[in-house]
Amino acid sequence: MKKDSVLSVLMYIFNHHLQQGKVVELTSDEVTEDLESAGFGDAPIEQAIEWLSSLAEMDKEAIAVSSPDAIRVFSEEEKQYLDSECQAFLLDLIKQVIISPATFEVIVYFLVELDADDIDVSLAKWVTLMVLYNMPDEQEAFKQMELLVLDDSPTGVIH
């Protein structure tokens, strides 16, 4: 993944700020300066901060969810960003009751919002982790996703 991608910035913020339990004021100069000193450009920093701000303001209750027996079909736009392996992974999270259908919709929405061409299962796991981190009522799902992300890391450390 290139250094100037929004996903790289988001992963850096998660690893160096959020995961360490720091309270992060996204609009603070300190965060921006830290990201700039880490080598990120202005555009991806701004996009990542907008994305995280939108995530922080999201209202999970406002998302319309269909009946439990419904079959979720990905839209053409969603398919442009999420390959079949990524789609299967996300649907499997619902089958395993790691996430609810409402949380699934939030995750898909924020994956598409990234407007990135290179979203694979590994990155979908990271975005899922970030979404769950911002949902206080999803702590158990967050713990389960954290283990899935750790399984992807050869060193056992979230990087």
Same domain, 120 and 46: no
Residue 59: the pLDDT is 67
- Among 15, 32, 57, give the residue marking a domain's end: 57
Does 132 lie in the same domain as 96?
A: yes
| Chain mean pLDDT for the chain | 82
Q: What is the predicted pLDDT for the residue at 102?
A: 87
3-state secondary structure of 143: helix
Do 123 and 89 fall into the same domain?
A: yes
Clarify whether residues 72 and 23 are in a common domain. Answer: no
Q: Are residues 28 and 75 in the same domain?
A: no
Is the per-residue pLDDT at 110 higher than 90?
A: yes
Q: Looking at the structure, tell me whether residues 75 and 27 fall in a common domain.
A: no
In the chain, the number of structural domains is: 2
Full residue range of the structural domain in which residue 117 is found: 61-159
Average pLDDT over residues 119-129: 90
Does 20 or 70 have the greater pLDDT score? 70
| pLDDT at 119 (0 to 100) | 86
Q: Are 88 and 137 in a shared domain? A: yes
Note whether 134 and 14 are within 8 A (CB): no
Q: Would you place residue 158 in the very low, low, confident or very high pLDDT band (cuts 50, 70, 90)?
A: very low
Encode 77-115: b = buried (16+ Cβ within 10 Å), e = exposed.
ebeebbeeebbebbeebeeeebbbeebbbbbbebbbbbe
Domain identity same for 47 and 72:
no
Considering 57, 76, 100, which residue would you say is the last residue of a domain? 57
pLDDT band at 19 (very low <50, low <70, confident <90, very high): low
